[in-house]
Structure 1
Amino acid sequence: MFSTDEIFFYRIVATAEEEFSRSDRLLFLSGLTAGLSMGLTFLARSTFMGAGPWDGSGLLGNLLYPLGFLLIV
């Protein structure tokens, strides 16, 4: 029987080995996609907050930035 700490450690090691086995091209595309996603949601947030004269523009704008973070995760 393994303890929970050992199971967690082996799972982390397995995930790290999987990440290191990926090609440089896939890692580059993954990073590029993540950066564009965060950047575009920030741009959408600032656009909604600046262009919307109604009170809900701040709420909608504040919901878009975490949405970009969730897309990455």
Structure 2
Amino acid sequence: MLFKGRYGRAMKWLKDRRGEGKRVADESELEHIVEKGDIFAMIVSALIVIIPVALVFLLALALIGYAFVACGA
């Protein structure tokens, strides 16, 4: 690989700058953090938020389409 030494130094500098203590929790650690019913509750709450917004958007598109057809524009 071209510039292998420079790449290695840059990656080492980034690791030192970022700090080894900070790391992202992976999926196996998240399973221990959330409780049994939390995933279902998050899905239901997301659907409660997303479905009304999507319905309003689709209704607006339908009304715009109806206006074009009915008015003959």
TM-score (norm 1): 0.46
Structure with the bigger RCO (C-alpha within 8 Å, sep 6+) is 1
User: Going by fraction, where is helix more abundant, 1 or 2?
Assistant: 1
TM-score (norm 2): 0.46
**Structure with bigger gyration radius:** 2
